[in-house]
A and B are shown apart, each in its own frame.
Chain A
Amino acid sequence: MPRGGTLADRDGILPGIAAETVLGLDNAPLTLPVAGVGSRVLAAFLDGLIQGVLQIGWLIACFWPVGFLGSDRTWRYVAYAFGAFLLDWVYFAGLEIAMRGRTPGKKMVGLRVVSRSGGTASAGALAVRNLLRPVDLLVGVLLMALDPLSRRLGDRLAGTLVVHDRAAADEPLLRRIPKGWQAEDVALVESLLRRVRDLEGPRADAMAYRVIERLEREEPSFLDGARGGGDGPVMVLRRAFGIEP
């Protein structure tokens, strides 16, 4: 693995490898699905809406004529002032700590804050990145746009990253491979079979036929037993490559 003295290397990004690849435990390269500016701004917008609703709710709760704070307007004001202050400054940090790197907005968009090595960020790091939110309202978007890891100032100081929180989804894996096929051929067919549900039926069938034509040309016996009565070309491919029995 190349290790040099370049700035990129010192920052934990491997030269020559995708920017979102970071060194994890034991220096194992991990390709983190780093979230871009768009999804992060959307999550922040949703959190802002929730925060606004909570602020309004707290205001109503404190000054409702028959509220839980009794009739003394003085203490209602005091309770409102402290509650509003906490909602301003603690909403993001408190929820990210409690929800292990997520806020309701991040959860809706499917994002999570992790440490620089992909692990769970510490409470201190989450507090730092959120207490710096006011200055990131000025410079954050610009810094995220310029940074290959989309970090705002708070992320840089806290040593955190925001990533897409995806489950390890089912990948169609080819368990039978024709002779002479390389990794890129395998990746191409797996990609087609993964995306087939998102494609229009005729288009998916047309692409599957092209793969079948290639197989018939290169290794006709590979398709033996894969063609069933009335099955479409996608199912033929799934059988031929051992995904379906």
Chain B
Amino acid sequence: MDYAAFLAIRERSWTEFEQRLDDAQARPRAIGYEDLEFLAVRYRQILHDSGLANARFPGTGAARRLNRLAVLATRLLHQEPRDSSASFLRFWTDTFPRAFRRNLPNTLAAVFLFLVGAAFGFGLAAVQPPIATAVLGPEAVDGLRDGRLWTESLVRSVPPSISSSAIARNNLSVALIGWAGGAIAGIGALYVLFLNGFLLGAVFGVTLHYSLADRLLEFVSAHGPLEITLILVTAAAGLRMGRAVVEASDLPRRDVLKAAARDALVILFGCLPWFIPLGLIEGFLSGSAAVSPGVKAALGLCLLGLFLTTSWNPFLREETQ
């Protein structure tokens, strides 16, 4: 077949396809069954013609036009399948728990690293009390010397609604950065985990030095257990992406990366909503003298239990192959 004959036979079909494609792009919601059937059938023909033009007439206008038509039609007709997690109930009862379970090894590694950081910070603060100034700042250390926790001034000087929103925003940012940082071969997540562990350990070491650890424990008991867990779980989801980037696998790299990113995103979306009630609890309740330490501790444990039950879902059925 020569070029002129190829055009004479096929060009009208391309023009017709192009017009229907333009209409479909202009009004995607108005595409009917007949339009879709027409486009789907002609699309295969366009792909075939494009392959033929590339092989027989490379670089020509027909090859260029057909490739552009094929690219436009592919974008319109080929949509990645909608996630089954789109259903709200299914997400919380199935998709999120499965992703959480698959990521358990990374979560345990995150807990271990956090504990190492905490032990290091605690030990350093115990043997080197001046570390307190570096961690907390001179004003907070002066307060500790006078028997006051720095958290008291925060609660008194700022309305709870403001501190709640600032706390929630800060925690969300830490979780998101830990999650995203995990993608750089896990480095960002490892940094967030170790740093947060170190700071928590050092803060407890310093308050213990000034005999105020029990009051700090009371302050963090309502929000702390879940807040730390959420940061560990989101950073562990980041580690999952980091491992996929560097780890060898039998599967193609792009499939491994996509599966890891999907799980990581599901875990992130399963964790983010919890930061809102946590911010409210930390702003309104943690520093309040009207709530007894026992109630705060019970609330903290209940929240943690609720999150872990949701994440693990003991009623989850085995995945069928």
Spell out A's residues near B (CB within 8 Å). 10-12, 24-26, 28-33, 74-75, 77-78, 81-82, 85, 89, 112, 114-125, 127-128, 131-135, 138-139, 153-154, 156-159, 163, 166-169, 171-177, 183-184, 186-187, 190, 194, 242
Partner of A134, one of B7, B76, B166, B177: B177
Contact B261 A128 (CB under 8 A): yes
- Chain B residues with CB under 8 A of A174: 3-4, 7, 61
User: Which of B60, B172, B253, B262 has the largest count of A CB atoms less than 10 A from its CB?
Assistant: B60
Contact A25 B47 (CB under 8 A): yes
Partner of A29, one of B8, B51, B253, B257: B51
Contact A186 B60 (CB under 8 A): yes
- Chain A residues with CB under 8 A of B51: 28-29
Q: Which B40-88 residues have C-beta < 8 A from chain A?
A: 44, 47, 50-51, 54, 56-62, 64-65, 67-72, 74-83
Closest to A171 in B: B61
Partner of B261, one of A25, A157, A167, A176: A157
Top 9 nearest A-B pairs by Cβ distance?
A: A119-B78, A171-B61, A122-B80, A187-B59, A157-B261, A118-B74, A190-B61, A168-B68, A28-B47
Known: A11-B252, A134-B180, A157-B261. A177 touches B4 (CB 8 A): yes
How far in angstroms is the closest Cβ of chain A from B283? 10
- Chain A residues with CB under 8 A of B18: 168
Contact A127 B265 (CB under 8 A): yes
Contact A156 B257 (CB under 8 A): yes
Contact B176 A131 (CB under 8 A): yes
Is B254 an interface residue, CB under 8 A from the partner?
yes
A175 to B12, CA, bound (A): 13
- Chain B residues with CB under 8 A of A132: 180, 183
Contact A171 B65 (CB under 8 A): yes
- If A24-B78, A186-B3 are given as contacts, then 5 extra A-B residue pairs at C-beta distance below 8 Å, sorted by A number, are A31-B71, A115-B78, A120-B78, A156-B245, A175-B8
Is B101 an interface residue, CB under 8 A from the partner?
no
Known: A131-B268, A183-B57, A194-B61. A138 touches B184 (CB 8 A): yes
Is B241 an interface residue, CB under 8 A from the partner?
yes
User: Which of B76, B83, B188, B257 has the largest count of A CB atoms less than 10 A from its CB?
Assistant: B257
Is B97 an interface residue, CB under 8 A from the partner?
no
- Chain B residues with CB under 8 A of A187: 57-61
How many residues on the B side are at the interface (Cβ–Cβ under 8 A)? 69
- Chain A residues with CB under 8 A of B90: none
A89 to B38, CA, bound (A): 40
* 25 contacts across the A-B interface (CB closer than 8 A): A11-B254, A24-B78, A28-B50, A29-B51, A74-B161, A74-B162, A77-B165, A78-B161, A78-B162, A85-B172, A119-B79, A120-B79, A128-B264, A135-B180, A138-B184, A156-B245, A157-B241, A157-B244, A167-B72, A168-B18, A174-B3, A174-B4, A174-B61, A187-B57, A190-B60
Contact A120 B75 (CB under 8 A): yes
A57 to B267, CA, bound (A): 33
How far in angstroms is the closest Cβ of chain B from A186? 5
Known: A81-B166, A125-B80, A168-B68. A173 touches B74 (CB 8 A): no
A187 to B162, CA, bound (A): 67
Contact A77 B4 (CB under 8 A): no
- Chain A residues with CB under 8 A of B75: 112, 114, 118-120
- Chain B residues with CB under 8 A of A133: 180
Contact B188 A135 (CB under 8 A): yes
- Chain B residues with CB under 8 A of A139: 184
- Chain A residues with CB under 8 A of B57: 183, 186-187
- Chain A residues with CB under 8 A of B81: 122
How far in angstroms is the closest Cβ of chain B from A140? 11
Known: A28-B51, A186-B3. A124 touches B74 (CB 8 A): no
Known: A28-B70, A121-B80, A173-B7. A183 touches B58 (CB 8 A): yes
Q: Which B111-157 residues have C-beta < 8 A from chain A?
A: none
A119 to B79, CA, bound (A): 5
Contact A175 B67 (CB under 8 A): no
Is B35 an interface residue, CB under 8 A from the partner?
no
- Chain B residues with CB under 8 A of A81: 165-166, 169
- Chain A residues with CB under 8 A of B71: 30-33, 118, 163
